[in-house]
Amino acid sequence: MVMRFQELTTRLELLQEQGLINEKVCRVTESVFEELARLVKKDSIEQAEMVFTHLPLALMRIVNGENIDRPDPFILEEMKRSEHFPVADTLVHFIEKLWEKSLPQGEKDFLYIHFINLLNINQGGDELEDCHRGTSGEEGD
């Protein structure tokens, strides 16, 4: 599925109307979509739903003082070897600049995974393994 900016804004407006996100989260998420679209040189982004669902909810977790566990260390090492890690890192720093503070490491790690997978889909490359596997590689560890 392909996501365009208008579809994102509609989705964010609904989340805002339901009180699930605030205005700043909405603005940051929209800016990140625009930056990503600029980087991949596309006005629509394939498979963007996951990251643009995770990002506003991650920012609201930060607002609410909630924490998440970090992904499996194996996945993090694989992520750092990706050809797309530098761009993913740039996007995470872009978010922190807009957010005006550092993000918790667990949130950054999951954003790296989402952005790398998104860049692989939209620019080519190998997708990362399922980020929800445990240390043995089995589902549900």
Cα 98–Cα 117–Cα 129 angle in degrees, nearest 5? 130
Domains delineated in the chain: 2-123 (1.10.1790.10)
Residue 138's pLDDT is what? Answer: 39
What pLDDT, in 10s, does the model give residues 13-48?
Answer: 999 999 999 999 999 999 999 999 999 999 899 999
How far apart CA 102 and CA 104 sit, in angstroms, is: 7
Asked whether residue 100 carries a pLDDT value surpassing 50, the answer given is yes
Q: How confident is the model at residue 1 (pLDDT cuts 50, 70, 90)?
A: confident
